C-alpha cells in the first residue's frame, strides 16, 4: 500500500526503522516545547539547540518523504546530528541522549503502540493553533502518514 500526498513523493505503507526513529525524534522535539506556564524562558543556548533539532528533523523528514527516500542508519543520523551542530553545545549531546532514551523505551509491541499514540495526540488540528506538529505542516503530515502506515 502506498500513501501519496503533499510531501512531494509517495510514502510506502511499510514503516522503516529510520521512520520510526524520526517519529521518536519528533516526540523529543515536542517535549521541548511543552514548558510549564510560569517557567523561565529558554536560554539562548537552549533556543539554539532546539533550532538545531528542528533543522535536523526538517532535513531528515523531507529526505525520508521524497520520491527517492533516503533511510539512514542510526550511527549516520548521530554523526550528522552532532557534526551539524552550530556549536559544541552540551545541550546537543543531551538532546541526542534523550532521543536514544526515547528509542530504548520501545522494547515491546505495546511501547511501539504507545509511541504512535503519543505522536497522534501531539498533532494539532485547530487551524488557528501555532504548532510545529500542525496536521497540514511537514511534521504533522509525516507523523500522520507514519501513524497510518503503522495502523495498516
Residues 6+ apart with CB under 8 A from 55: 84
CA distance 113 to 108: 9
Question: DSSP string of 38-62?
Answer: TSPPPPHHHHHHHHHHHHHHHHHHH
Write out pLDDT tens, residues 5-28: 444 444 566 888 889 999 999 998
Alpha carbon distance 92, 25 (integer Å): 13
The DSSP 8-state label assigned to residue 115 in this structure reads: H
pLDDT at 25: 92
Between these two residues, 117 and 38, which has the higher pLDDT value?
A: 117
**CB-based contact 86:52 (threshold 8 Å):** yes
Amino acid at each position: 500500500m502506498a500513501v501519496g500526498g503533499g510531501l512531494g513523493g509517495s510514502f510506502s505503507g511499510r514503516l522503516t526503522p529510520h521512520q520510526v526513529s524520526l517519529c521518536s525524534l519528533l516526540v523529543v522535539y515536542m517535549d521541548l516545547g511543552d514548558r510549564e506556564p510560569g517557567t523561565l524562558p529558554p536560554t539562548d543556548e537552549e533556543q539554539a539547540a532546539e533550532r538545531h533539532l528542528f533543522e535536523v528533523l526538517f532535513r531528515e523528514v523531507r529526505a525520508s518523504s521524497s520520491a527517492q527516500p533516503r533511510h539512514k542508519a542510526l550511527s549516520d543520523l548521530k554523526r550528522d546530528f552532532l557534526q551539524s551542530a552550530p556549536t559544541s553545545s552540551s545541550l546537543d549531546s543531551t538532546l541526542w541522549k534523550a532521543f536514544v532514551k526515547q528509542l530504548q523505551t520501545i522494547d515491546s509491541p505495546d511501547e511501539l503502540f504507545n509511541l504512535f499514540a503519543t505522536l497522534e495526540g501531539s498533532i494539532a488540528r485547530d487551524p488557528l493553533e501555532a504548532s510545529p506538529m500542525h496536521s497540514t505542516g511537514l511534521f504533522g503530515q509525516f507523523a500522520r502518514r507514519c501513524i497510518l502506515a503503522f495502523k495498516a
